[in-house]
Amino acid sequence: MKGPVGTPTSRRSILRRRTVVCVLAALACAFAIGCGDSAGGTSGGGTGYETTAVGPGDRTAAARAVNGAGLVVGGAEGPEGAGQAFRWRAGYTQALDGSDAWSVNDRGEVAGESGGVACLWGADGGIRALPFRSIARGVNSAGEVVGEVETGAGTAAFLWQEDHLHLLGGLGGNWSAAYGINDGGQVVGWAETEDRRLVAFRWEAGVMTPLGTLGGPTSVAYAINEAGQAAGYSTTTHGADRAFLVEPHGELVSLGTLGGYSVAYDVDNLGRVVGESLTLGGRAHAFLWEAGRMVDLNDLLTTGSGWELSRAYAISDEGHIAGQGLLHGEPRAFLLTPVP
């Protein structure tokens, strides 16, 4: 499981995407019937998708994660510009007392942030929070949480198990962040090196290992599946951003592009990858990469559906895909449900 961000090219651009504006309080749930705008489609007789608008009907809403039961979590702009975390399922939106939700496991536990601190919402409505300025980015099926905590010199990637917080170390610099964790306890993220580059890492059993790059100075890993495959993006020797997939003991492999840059945000246990890429027409489009081929998810929707899918943040083993796009020109969070 993981929690995505945008398309960072520096330490500052990664860090400034954090939203730390809500005040921590007891969990308060507000239910409202969600939007039911949907469209279905197929491409070339293969699998297509039914598209549903999820979460608050807000221009800033983003669906960041989805579990096997189709439970979607994310964030939107709340009252007076404050961030508003939410979870959505089957047409109902539940407002969480927090500023953003980044990851969800199959037990329905949600990792995110509230009042500037990392928190974990339980499926039963309870909430646990760290007493430090921090963000929770990912959660596995055991409820183990990863993220980043502020230090005096920068940030540190952490693993939060019950009441114990473990700092994962670094690669020589003062900045690091963890985004994804699998059920085996493997963690991925990025860390600053001694020469102030940001490099993707895989952490396991107390050892942080750099994953390398595609030839450029920067790489970031956002997600890891149960087989240990990690997905993210890296700069190339020509300075372009490219989505990558890396095997447990292999080198980064570029997943290609729809025309311009590409970024991978999630990988499921079948090795399918989702993310975003710039098209030849200059539009950011959500993609699905499978069996060596990157496909524009918009090509799997019915013509005239009213949707333009901009970025896919998450994919479940059941094939649900969550992300952000445009519905009749207005930004909305979406859930794709596969149909034959």
Q: What is the mean pLDDT of residues 295-322?
A: 95
pLDDT at 61: 87
Q: What is the DSSP string of 57-112?
A: S-TT-EEEEE-TT--EEEEEE-GGG-EEEEEEETTEEEEESSSEEEEE-TT--EEE
**Residue 12, phi then psi, degrees to nearest 5:** -65, -40
pLDDT at 79: 66
Q: Is the pLDDT of residue 16 over 60?
A: no
pLDDT at 81: 67
Closest CA to 187 of 177, 197, 195, 198: 177
Q: Tell me the pLDDT band of 45, cut-offs 50, 70 and 90.
A: very low
DSSP single-letter state for residue 13? H
pLDDT at 11: 44
What is the pLDDT of the chain when averaged over all its residues?
Answer: 87
Q: What is the DSSP string of 120-172?
A: EE-TTS-EEEEEEEEEEEEE-TT--EEEEEE-SSSEEEEEEETTEEEE---BE
| Helix or strand holding residue 15 (H, E) | helix 11-15
Q: Is the pLDDT of residue 232 over 80?
A: yes
- Predicted confidence (pLDDT) per residue in 149-204, tens digit: 999 999 999 999 988 999 999 999 999 999 999 999 999 999 999 999 999 999 99
Q: Which amino acid is located at 122 in the chain?
A: G
- Predicted confidence (pLDDT) per residue in 234-283, tens digit: 999 999 999 999 999 999 999 999 999 999 999 999 999 999 999 999 99
Token pair belonging to 127? 């909430």
Q: Is the pLDDT of residue 46 over 70?
A: no
Q: Is the pLDDT of residue 26 over 50?
A: no
Rounded to whole angstroms, how far apart are CA atoms 202 and 178? 9
- Predicted confidence (pLDDT) per residue in 202-211, tens digit: 999 999 999 9
pLDDT at 4: 56
pLDDT at 82: 75
pLDDT higher for 237 or 47?
A: 237
Q: Are 87 and 104 in contact (CB under 8 A)?
A: yes
Q: Is the pLDDT of residue 213 over 60?
A: yes
pLDDT at 125: 79
pLDDT at 36: 38
Closest CA to 288 of 272, 300, 269: 272
- Predicted confidence (pLDDT) per residue in 58-81, tens digit: 777 899 999 999 999 999 986 666
Q: Is the pLDDT of residue 1 over 70?
A: no
Q: Is 80 exposed, middle or buried (0-12, 13-18, 19+ CB in 10 A)?
A: exposed
- Predicted confidence (pLDDT) per residue in 79-112, tens digit: 666 789 999 999 999 999 999 999 999 999 999 9
Regarding pTM above 0.85, the answer is yes
CA distances from 205 to 186, 219, 260 (A): 8, 22, 37
Q: Is the pLDDT of residue 19 over 70?
A: no
